[in-house]
Amino acid sequence: MSRTTTLLASLAILSIAVMFAGCTDGGDSTPTDSSDDQSDVGGADGATDDSEATDDSDKEKFLGDLSPEDREAVEKQRTCPVSGDLLWDAAPRKVTVTDSQGTEHVVFLCCKSCERKLKANVDEFVKKLNK
């Protein structure tokens, strides 16, 4: 195999690994709201391992611009139901989705990539929130 072919194969493998490594979408760190609904996330206990603690200054940086209601909901939910990442490790995205039963749910996510995955399989991820 030539050096060029080896290099190209290595780059292709690296690109695939990066795609599956995380859910950060390279977007900005501004909190986003994909809905006009200001309701609370219902039924999510958001329990996670305490070892996921993050710096309080980072938490304030990403949650500081949220309304008090949204901030409370994010702190209650704690993690993205798609990636499992702490919501205050980046700017949380507020999304309203409807499950197969016609029930609307307000969900906070860590990134746009997770939003696409959530919308593709609402019932699975809402079920995770309600555990």
What is the per-residue DSSP string for 95-124? EEEE-TTS-EEEEEESSHHHHHHHHHSHHH
Sheet bearing 93-98, strands edge to edge: 32-33, 93-98, 104-109
Give a yes or no: residue 85 inside a domain.
yes
Residues 88/63, Cβ–Cβ less than 8 Å: yes
Taking residues 33-59, report their average pLDDT: 48
Domain range holding 32?
26-129
Taking residues 50-78, report their average pLDDT: 78
Q: Which residues pair with 10 in a beta bridge?
A: none
In eight-state DSSP terms, residue 43 is S
Give a yes or no: residue 78 inside a domain.
yes
pLDDT higher at 67 or 9: 67
Give a yes or no: residue 21 inside a domain.
no
Give a yes or no: residue 47 inside a domain.
yes
Give a yes or no: residue 11 inside a domain.
no
Q: Name which of 54, 64, 69 is nearest 29 in CA terms.
A: 64
pLDDT at residue 68 is higher than 70: yes
Domains identified in the chain, total number: 1
Strands 93-98 and 104-109 come out as antiparallel
Indicate the length of the chain as a whole number: 131
Q: How confident is the model at residue 36 (pLDDT cuts 50, 70, 90)?
A: very low
A 10 A CB-CB count for 81 gives 25
Give a yes or no: residue 2 inside a domain.
no
Give a yes or no: residue 10 inside a domain.
no
pLDDT at residue 40 is higher than 50: no
Mean pLDDT, the chain, whole residue set? 74
